[in-house]
Amino acid sequence: MAATVGMLAQQTSSLAGYISPSKDLKFADIPNGLGALKAVPIEGWVQMVVVIGMHEILIKQREGKPPGDFGTGYFGFPVEEGSEKQKAGLNAEISNGRLAMLGILGMFASEIVHGGEVLAEVKDLA
């Protein structure tokens, strides 16, 4: 879901400043979508991998609990284990995650078809 929201956000806004001051590379110089894969310097990718790796190492799942249960509940509100509310929430999360995967794949396809511009077909509607 974060990828879908991120793809839409980068079409409408960009951060000010430098992504790599040593290479004089600004955020505005980085293309949106798949084009960013080639434009971000290797040092930036290494930083992202290290941060994600540290998160995987430091944040542990609770023993004996289902995958993804870190004991935080939903937005910090605890939910009773095995309740109908928990089951409904988990099913909604799985469905929304699947839909978001289809959404990001559709955006990637749109970007490839339209030469780097996501959702170009709806631009004329505005």
Helix, coil or strand: residue 85: helix
Give residue 81's Cα distance to chain centre: 28
Contact between residue 126 and residue 26 where contact means Cβ atoms under 8 Å apart: no
Read off the pLDDT of residues 42-101 as tens digits, 9 standing for 90 and up: 999 999 999 999 998 988 777 887 777 776 766 767 777 778 887 888 888 889 999 999
- In eight-state DSSP terms, residue 83 is -
> pTM score, two decimals?
0.67
41 Cβ contact partners less than 8 Å away, ≥ 6 residues apart: 19, 20, 23, 25
Is residue 126 very low, low, confident or very high in pLDDT (cuts 50, 70, 90)? low
What's the average model confidence in pLDDT over 108-118?
82
Angstrom distance (rounded) from CA 28 to CA 49: 23
Between strands 18-20 and 25-26, the pairing is: antiparallel
* pLDDT score for 40: 92
What's the average model confidence in pLDDT over 104-114?
87
Angstrom distance (rounded) from CA 6 to CA 1: 8
Least confident of 18-27, 33-42, 69-78: 69-78
Collect contacts of 73-76 with beta carbons under 8 A, ≥24 apart.
Answer: none
